[in-house]
Amino acid sequence: MDFSFWILVGAIGAFFYNRYEQARRVLMLRAMLHPYQLEQLMQTLLEGYMRALGEADEERRRSIWQVMEGHETLLVSQMQRLAADTASMAGPMGRVSRLPLLLPGVTRWWPKACFELSQALRIHADGITRVAHNETGLTPRDKAFCMSAELLLFQHTCHWYCRSRTTASTRLVARHQTSHAQALAAASAGTREGLMAIGAV
């Protein structure tokens, strides 16, 4: 039988296996995030920052920053809980492939090509906490830019876990007109160095 036929069969099999694996990961991530309001908090913060940055009246701008600080405090609490709850994740479903495209079963047969999702979530939680506490004394404007980058990187990791690095990066540009490299450069040094250390870049 023609060798190209078996290549086609293999490609079709890989496609459906990846679809199955991605569906499992989407369900798992959804279950992990279900107890929290992270998506809503992230949207509120990103929109609030844009509103504050575009506000001409100093008093109203200050008021928006104060409201955002309350949302940041809640976000920190929930991110820290998420990192703690997922700290014990292990095995293939807890790994994220560093390869640009998802190969069938790569998290099972090539763990060295992966990083642990639990490690990435801990890095994101600590980075968001650092920025929210403003340990480096950033101005409200610079803090908003830095926090926005932290949030986009967290979202990128979630999409990467469910799909692939390429898909996650493409979605980041499409939804926020920001590349992964730009978000990484704008985030806190601790987050940047942490993600680089585990190869989640």
pLDDT, tens digit, 9 for 90 and up, residues 81-128: 999 999 999 899 999 999 988 778 899 999 999 999 999 999 999 999
Q: Is the predicted pLDDT of residue 6 greater than 70, yes or no?
A: no
pLDDT, tens digit, 9 for 90 and up, residues 122-167: 999 999 999 999 989 999 999 999 999 999 999 999 999 999 999 9
Q: What is the DSSP string of the chain?
A: --HHHHHHHHHHHHHHHHHHHHHHHHHHHHHHHTTS-HHHHHHHHHHHHHHHHT---HHHHHHHHHHHHHHHHHHHHHHHHHHHHTTT--SGGGEEE-SSSPPTTHHHH-GGGEEEHHHHHHHHHHHHHHHHHTTT---HHHHHHHHHHHHHHHHHHHHHHHS-HHHHHHHHHHHHS--HHHHHHHS-HHHHHHHHHHT--
The band of 12, judged by pLDDT with boundaries at 50, 70 and 90, is low
**Higher confidence at residue 168 or residue 2?**
168
